[in-house]
A and B are shown apart, each in its own frame.
Chain A
């Protein structure tokens, strides 16, 4: 089952897919562009992984001082970064390099404390797609990636659908890709994660209790290139969803 959270007609609604777009819980059928899409579940703690695809590590190797043998590179994000499907993200005029990151988002379904990898998948409620933007100009080597790079308003896109775990037989067998203005710029496969989903849940739940709604952004493969104002960025994962975002300029925000 796939579900979404949208705003329509002055209220928030749950929705499911429909051949003409989507259907609200009250029966109304609407086109995809008739609603405002929100992140598709009540988001708790946002836990992000850096450098979790071997090919991406290779891509960044020149500037890194870690290897893939290290413990997972985990960082956290606040709620202000989150926006939904078909949203708009600010592309700063002054930044030389801002890039998308297509990621499989794993949503926790129940309280998870000291969970072993062998039992971990039972704690997953479902999945969605994430596009986690970064502005590399602002990278500093203090608690890197620092929040000014990775926790900017509207820089973490989630959606469109929350997909039940039961409908995803193997989350490590999914092709993912990013298209900028219709052209494929990033391709990968979730089987290439360095730290798998059960390994991440075991690692994290050993020191922090995960709760329903917490989400793990599992990292991105190689192929990150700069994007510009006006670009339409589509991050998609087979069987999970096709997430659209558009970049807008500083003037939209009165800057």
Chain B
């Protein structure tokens, strides 16, 4: 059964539940690593898109409460533009790539903060309820250029991050082309363009919001894991 919040009123009408993220697409995030990218364990900067999955246990609706593990006590609030695939995309050319999208959606990609990107860090990135999607999919036709969208993150009502998509190493179209070269994306799949560098952190008891111009505002709250434990 598709959870209710994965349904939308634009094609493909519901999300597939398959959500991919893109690591270090923001040039500033890669630059911040400095010379470390040339040293062990990385040895070289990434060439292909570095992807990860937010599996089905992570998916939650806009407005959800997210559990913060006691260890560390904080989550990183990754604010991402979600590209919603509208038709099967296999080996799409960059020039046509946007035509494969149904629309766009705000994604809150929450992780336990980590500084090593050598291993996939599933324990830190795939925690229950750590991927909020919503509040709505907006049709592609309503967004003239996804690569300039402004994004704003607040914690407890205070603006803690302002960014836009123009600093991404791969644009929306380029990312779709490079990803679909080796893995086919299906209608309803979501591919995150990448989290802007400098993602804020928040603790249990705090509220956060992510707003992308034209897409709406996604709200969430953080609660201590032990309070959510059943």
A contacts, CB < 8 Å to B:
44-45, 47, 65-66, 71, 73-81, 113, 138, 140-148, 151-153, 207-211
The count of A-to-B residue pairs whose CB atoms sit within 8 angstroms is: 106
Is there contact, CB below 8 Å, between B41 and A141?
A: yes
For window 25-60 of chain B, which residues contact chain A by CB distance below 8 Å?
Answer: 40-44, 46-53, 55-58
Query: In the complex, what residues of A have CB within 8 A of residue B51's CB?
Result: 143, 146-148, 151
**Is B184 part of the contact surface with A, judged by Cβ < 8 Å?**
yes
**Is B120 part of the contact surface with A, judged by Cβ < 8 Å?**
yes
Query: In the complex, what residues of A have CB within 8 A of residue B122's CB?
Result: 47, 74-76, 208
Query: In the complex, what residues of B have CB within 8 A of residue A141's CB?
Result: 41-44, 118
> Can you pick out 26 interface pairs between chain A and chain B where the beta carbons lie within 8 Å of each other?
A45-B56, A45-B57, A65-B41, A76-B52, A77-B53, A78-B20, A78-B53, A80-B184, A80-B185, A141-B43, A141-B118, A142-B24, A142-B46, A143-B52, A143-B119, A144-B120, A146-B50, A146-B51, A147-B20, A147-B52, A147-B182, A207-B123, A207-B127, A208-B58, A209-B57, A211-B57
B contacts, CB < 8 Å to A:
18, 20, 23-24, 40-44, 46-53, 55-58, 69, 90, 117-123, 126-128, 182-186
Please give the distance in Å from A137's CB to the nearest CB on chain B. Answer: 11
Q: A140-B46, A151-B183 are in contact. List 10 more A-B contacts (CB 8 A).
A: A65-B41, A73-B119, A74-B123, A80-B184, A80-B185, A140-B47, A142-B23, A151-B51, A152-B183, A209-B57
CB < 8 Å: which of A47, A71, A74, A143 contacts B117? A143
Query: In the complex, what residues of B have CB within 8 A of residue A207's CB?
Result: 69, 123, 126-128
Query: In the complex, what residues of A have CB within 8 A of residue B20's CB?
Result: 78, 147
Identify the closest chain B residue to A154 (Cβ): B184
Query: In the complex, what residues of A have CB within 8 A of residue B123's CB?
Result: 71, 74, 207
Please give the distance in Å from B190's CB to the nearest CB on chain A. Answer: 11
Is there contact, CB below 8 Å, between B182 and A153?
A: yes
Please give the distance in Å from B99's CB to the nearest CB on chain A. Answer: 20
Do A78 and B57 contact each other (CB < 8 Å), given the known contacts A140-B44, A208-B128? Answer: no
Please give the distance in Å from B226's CB to the nearest CB on chain A. Answer: 12
Please give the distance in Å from B162's CB to the nearest CB on chain A. Answer: 27
CA distance A145 to B122 in the complex (A): 12
Query: In the complex, what residues of B have CB within 8 A of residue A79's CB?
Result: 18, 186
Is there contact, CB below 8 Å, between A45 and B55?
A: yes
CA distance A25 to B123 in the complex (A): 40
Please give the distance in Å from A94's CB to the nearest CB on chain B. Answer: 12
CA distance A143 to B51 in the complex (A): 8
Is there contact, CB below 8 Å, between B117 and A142?
A: yes
Is there contact, CB below 8 Å, between A76 and B42?
A: no
Identify the closest chain A residue to B122 (Cβ): A74
Query: In the complex, what residues of B have CB within 8 A of residue A151's CB?
Result: 51, 182-183
